[in-house]
Structure 1
Amino acid sequence: MVDLLSLTGRVALVTGGGRHIGRGVACTLAAAGAAVVVNDVVGERAEQVAAEITAAGGTAIGLACDVTDPAAVTALVERAQRALGPVDVLVNNAGNAGAERGYAADPPPFWETGPDEWRSWFDVNLFGVMNASRAVLPAMVERRSGRVITIVSDAGRVGEPFLVPYSAAKAGAAGFVRALAKAVGRYDITVNAVSLGTVRDAAPDDEAIARQLRRYVIRRFGTPDDVAAMVLFLASGAASWITGQTMPVNGGYSMAL
């Protein structure tokens, strides 16, 4: 039987691939046969994940780039193409959220924030997605083939009161996915989003676990492997007739609200 999840002969670019979800996605795509460009704003992290993939018998390179810089993203894609060939699969994973910004414990209310701060959320979570997508699309259109997969958040679907700008940026990214899918579908390019609940490498204290897990049908937090499995499916031939969709990987969080 043909392995519909095989990515042999494909080149995948994973932004924000140097840790956590991005690392899991990069390693999973490599295990499926893809040559992977691991991107991270911190070059050492990207190179470390690429080295892990290579040590496991895969093909990968690590490249530093800030996805908020359009010129740098264009240069990143050009370097990737020279090293491994045209990008077949783009995974827009780079983002920032409350934990990265130090807001997890005591986030300020929206009315105590301002435009400069809002811009920092939108630059990564929305414009970073647009920058990377624009950079890979010309070659995909020319080849009439490609996959663009964007990691969004259930914050963009249901709203998080203490992460208002983040929720808005992620909702914007999901809207961008739907519009772009319509724009490039004629070229056999699929564009989808994966919407996440809470994904953790390590659990917080017991009280926090109990409080947060009450909102989930499946009473555990997600793992990077949970996310990577959906990304692999959307990147593969098994998902060739799926586009413009936001696929929930959230343990039933949005259904439980």
Structure 2
Amino acid sequence: MASTDNPLDLSGHTVLVTGAGQGVGKRVAELAAARGAAIVVNDFDADRAAAVVDELRASGTTAAPAAADVGDFEQFGTAIDTAVAEIGPIDILVNNAGNRGAEAPAHAPRPFWEQDPSDWKPFFHVNLDGAMNATRHVLPYMIAGNYGRVITVISDAARVGEINGMESYSAAKAGAAGFTRSIARLSGRHGITANSVALGATRTPAIADAIADENFAKKVLSGYIIRRFGDPEDAANMILFLASGAAGWVTGQTIPVNGGYSLAL
């Protein structure tokens, strides 16, 4: 368990971060390792997962890869079983893997009323199915240990409702938030908390091209009280607070990390 002298310490815990090959997920893995945790690195890209594991091990961290598609129940489960056999049971889960549509047909200019299930299923596969799959595979370890933390990364889109091809993304992220609240109610008696973190526009590879457009960036930032884009570390700091002993009486909540965007709505 974490040190009683520092409730933010994660020594003795094992953290699974999905989508940890880059962006917010990678920064969460790095900072959790710096706080003493062992890390299971999931990414659908095996090379990215291996590279992060190598970096963590080079710093003295116990780490294992779990390269798999988080939305594929069997494939992901096999990868997690292998990682657990290597470094031990997982008691902190960060559901970070996401899909904003860059690789999905749903991110298309045609209106929603002209789409079909092949357009929106890719969003649900990662953003909702992925969070459910990961939680399903890890929850038994947490229940057995009578301790756990589940943190699901969602988006302001879950509350605002994005359009122009992003309707399904908004729905999937809202679903993930609702699922996380259900897990909080289901598992609290086992010493497990479950919360979501709703991110505003954060500098990650997923939006790098979009925010490089000066006009687009100016328009987005006009809605933020703190006039800058978030950094992966902004997100990681909140995620790891919720993962720590300091947040033991916080559960079933959605915490915005968005530069004050919530107040502008």
Give the root-mean-square deviation of aligned CA atoms. 1.6
Q: Give the corresponding residue for 1:53.
A: 56
Deviates more, 1:137-146 or 1:68-77: 68-77
Distance (Å, rounded) in 2 between the aligned partners of 1:61 and 1:152: 25
* Cα contact 2:65–2:83 (8 A) shared by 1: no
- Matches of residues 102-141 of structure 1 in structure 2 within 5 Å? 107-141=109-143
Distance (Å, rounded) in 2 between the aligned partners of 1:214 and 1:4: 37
* Cα contact 1:92–1:149 (8 A) shared by 2: yes
Distance (Å, rounded) in 2 between the aligned partners of 1:107 and 1:240: 44
Say which SS state the counterpart of residue 176 (structure 1) adopts: helix
* Structure-2 change in CA distance of 1:218 and 1:102 (3 Å): farther
Say which SS state the counterpart of residue 37 (structure 1) adopts: strand
Distance (Å, rounded) in 1 between the aligned partners of 2:143 and 2:175: 23
Q: Give the corresponding residue for 2:80.
A: 77
Q: Which runs of no fewer than 5 residues in structure 2 stay unpaired?
A: none
- Matches of residues 149-160 of structure 1 in structure 2 within 5 Å? 149-160=151-162
Say which SS state the counterpart of residue 162 (structure 2) adopts: coil
Distance (Å, rounded) in 2 between the aligned partners of 1:84 and 1:74: 15
Deviation of residue 206 (structure 1)? 2.1
Q: Structure 1, residues 143-187: CA drift from partner, whole Å, max 9, x if none?
A: 111111110011001111121000000000000011110000010
* Structure-2 change in CA distance of 1:5 and 1:40 (3 Å): same
Distance (Å, rounded) in 2 between the aligned partners of 1:107 and 1:79: 41
Question: Which of the numbers 6, 14, 19 marks the counterpart of 1:3?
Answer: 6
Q: Give the corresponding residue for 1:253.
A: 261
Percent of pairs with identical residues: 53
Say which SS state the counterpart of residue 18 (structure 1) adopts: coil
Distance (Å, rounded) in 1 between the aligned partners of 2:57 and 2:85: 18
Question: Which of the numbers 51, 54, 62 marks the counterpart of 2:65?
Answer: 62
Q: Give the corresponding residue for 2:236.
A: 228
TM-score, normalization by structure 2: 0.92
TM-score, normalization by structure 1: 0.95
Q: Give the corresponding residue for 1:24.
A: 27
Deviates more, 1:194-203 or 1:226-235: 194-203
Deviates more, 1:170-179 or 1:197-206: 197-206
Deviates more, 1:92-101 or 1:63-72: 92-101
Say which SS state the counterpart of residue 15 (structure 2) adopts: strand
Q: Give the corresponding residue for 2:249.
A: 241
User: Given residue 54 of structure 2, which amino acid in structure 1 is its aligned partner?
Assistant: A
Runs of 4+ aligned residues of structure 1 deviating over 6 Å after TM superposition are none
* Cα contact 1:80–1:87 (8 A) shared by 2: no
Q: Which runs of no fewer than 5 residues in structure 1 stay unpaired?
A: none
Question: Which of the numbers 173, 185, 198 marks the counterpart of 1:170?
Answer: 173
Distance (Å, rounded) in 2 between the aligned partners of 1:198 and 1:98: 15
Deviation of residue 247 (structure 1)? 0.8
Distance (Å, rounded) in 1 between the aligned partners of 2:169 and 2:139: 26
Say which SS state the counterpart of residue 172 (structure 1) adopts: helix
